[in-house]
Amino acid sequence: MPAAPTRSAPSLNNLAATVVLIGLVVAGAWSINALGINLATIADSFDNALNFAQRMFPLDFPPPGETLSLIAETLAIVFLATLLSVVLSIPLSLAAARATARNRWSQGTTRTLIVLARAIPDLVLAIIFLRMFGLGPTAGILAMGVHSVGMVAKLYADAIEELDDGPRQSIESAGTTRRQQIAAAIPQVLMPQVIATALHRFDINLRTSVLLGYVGVGGIGLAISESLRVLDYQRGMALALIVLLLCIVIELISGGIRAAIMRRSGGAVVGGTWVDRVLNRGRVTGAGDVTLTPPWTTERLRRFGAYALVIVLTVLSFARVDLSFSALWSGLLDLPQTLALFFPPSTGGAFSTLIEQLLVTIQIALAATLLGAILALPIGILAARNVVANKFVHGFFRMVIVVIRGIPELILAIIFVVISGLGGIAGTLALAVGAVGLLSKLIADSLEETDTEVQDALRTAGASEAQIFFSATLRQAAPAFVAHTMYLLDTNIRSATLLGVVGAGGVGFLLLNASRVNQFEVVTMILILMVAVVLIVEALSMWLRRTVR
Per-residue pLDDT of the chain (549 residues; tens, 9 = 90+): 444 444 444 567 778 878 888 888 899 899 988 888 877 777 777 777 788 778 888 888 889 899 999 899 899 999 999 999 999 988 888 888 777 777 788 888 888 888 888 878 888 888 888 888 877 788 888 889 999 998 888 888 877 776 665 665 666 666 666 666 566 555 555 666 777 788 888 888 888 888 888 777 778 888 888 888 888 888 888 888 888 888 888 877 876 776 666 565 554 433 444 344 443 444 444 444 444 455 666 666 776 777 788 888 888 888 888 777 777 788 788 888 888 888 888 887 888 888 888 898 899 999 999 998 888 888 888 888 777 777 888 888 888 888 887 777 778 888 888 887 777 888 888 888 888 888 888 888 777 777 666 666 766 766 666 666 666 666 777 777 877 888 888 888 888 877 877 777 778 888 878 887 888 888 889 888 888 888 888 788 778 777 766
Residue 543 lies in a domain: yes
Give me the pLDDT at residue 56, please: 82
For the domain that residue 102 is a member of, what is the CATH number?
1.10.3720.10
CB-CB contact of 201 with 85 (8 Å)? yes
Q: At what angle do helices 508-516 and 520-548 cross, to 10 degrees?
A: 150
Residue 326 lies in a domain: no
β partners of residue 113: none
CB-CB contact of 238 with 61 (8 Å)? yes
My answer on whether 234 and 99 are in the same domain is: yes
Amino acid at 509: F
My answer on whether 82 and 212 are in the same domain is: yes
Give me the pLDDT at residue 79, please: 93
CB-CB contact of 41 with 428 (8 Å)? no
Amino acid at 525: M
Residue 106 lies in a domain: yes
My answer on whether 257 and 371 are in the same domain is: no
My answer on whether 369 and 511 are in the same domain is: yes
Those residues with Cβ within 8 angstroms of residue 242's Cβ, 6 or more apart along the chain or in another chain: 61, 67, 70, 71, 220
**Distance between CA 529 and CA 25 in Å, rounded?**
23
Measuring CA to CA, which residue among 141, 153, 148 is closest to residue 90? 153
**Distance between CA 299 and CA 66 in Å, rounded?**
39
My answer on whether 259 and 372 are in the same domain is: no
Residue 345 lies in a domain: no
Domain, as residue range, for 437: 352-548
**Distance between CA 433 and CA 369 in Å, rounded?**
10
Last residue of a domain, one of 252, 270, 288: 270
Angle at 310 between CA 308 and CA 316, to 5 degrees: 105
Residue 447 lies in a domain: yes
Give me the pLDDT at residue 465, please: 63
My answer on whether 426 and 544 are in the same domain is: yes
Residue 305 lies in a domain: no
Residue 325 lies in a domain: no
- Is the bond into 58 cis (omega within 30 degrees of 0)? yes
The total domain count for the chain is 2
Last residue of a domain, one of 254, 270, 286: 270
Last residue of a domain, one of 270, 303, 326: 270
Residue 70 lies in a domain: yes
DSSP structure class, residue 500: G
Spell out the alpha helix ranges (H) of 322-350.
Answer: 325-333, 335-340
**Distance between CA 492 and CA 430 in Å, rounded?**
10
Those residues with Cβ within 8 angstroms of residue 406's Cβ, 6 or more apart along the chain or in another chain: 244, 245, 247, 248, 251, 437
CB-CB contact of 367 with 428 (8 Å)? yes
